[in-house]
Amino acid sequence: MDNLTFGITMLICGMGGTILTLWIMSLVMGLLGKLFPVKPEKKEA
Amino acid sequence: MADAIINGIGGLTVGFQMLAVDWRNGIMLIVGFVLLYLGIKKDCEPLLLVPIGFGCILVNIPLSDVMSQEGFIRAIYDAGIVTELFPLLIFIGIGAMTDFGPVLAQPSTFLLGAAGQFGIFLTLLLALALGFPQLDAVSIGIIGACDGPTAIYVTSKYAPHLLGAVSVAAYSYMSLVPIIQPPIMRLLTTKKERMTVMKAVAKPVSKTTKILFPLVITILGGLIAPKGLPLLGTIMLGNLMRESGVVSRLTKASENEIANVVTLFLGLCIGATMVGSAFVKAQTLIILGLGFVAICLDTVCGVCMGKVMRVVTGGKVNPLIGAAGISAFPMAARVVQKEGAKWNKKSYLLMHAMGANAGGQIGSVVAAAVMLSVLAGMGIIR
**Euclidean distance between CA atoms B218 and B225, whole angstroms:** 10
Cβ(B120)–Cβ(A14) below 8 Å: yes
Q: What percent of chain B has pLDDT over 70?
A: 99
- pLDDT tens-place string over residues B217-250: 999 999 999 999 999 999 999 999 999 999 999 9
pLDDT band at A44 (very low <50, low <70, confident <90, very high): low
Q: Where are the domains of chain B?
A: 66-377
Spell out where chain B has E strands: none
Mean pLDDT across B247-262: 95
Distance from CA of A45 to the nearest CA of B (A): 24
**Which residues of chain A lie closer than 8 angstroms to B367, CB-CB?**
14, 18
Say if residue A45's pLDDT is above 60.
Answer: no
**Which residues of chain B lie closer than 8 angstroms to A36, CB-CB?**
206, 208-209, 212
- pLDDT tens-place string over residues B5-58: 988 888 888 888 887 888 899 999 999 999 999 999 988 888 888 999 999 999
Cβ(B166)–Cβ(B137) below 8 Å: no
pLDDT band at B146 (very low <50, low <70, confident <90, very high): confident
Looking at chain B, which residue has its C-alpha nearest residue A8? B125
- pLDDT tens-place string over residues B331-373: 899 999 999 999 999 889 998 999 999 999 999 999 999 999 9
pLDDT at B202: 66
> Read out DSSP for B359-377?
HHHHHHHHHHHHHHHHHHH
- pLDDT tens-place string over residues A4-38: 999 999 999 999 999 999 999 999 999 998 999 98
Entry field: residues in chain A? 45
- pLDDT tens-place string over residues B277-297: 888 899 999 999 999 999 999
DSSP type of residue B145: G
Amino acid in position B217? I
DSSP type of residue B176: T
Looking at chain B, which residue has its C-alpha nearest residue A41? B206
Return all residues near B87 (Cβ < 8 A) that are at least 6 apart: B148, B149, B150, B152, B153, B156, B231, B266
Which among B188, B183, B371, B180 is positioned nearest to B292, based on CA atoms? Answer: B180
pLDDT at B215: 96
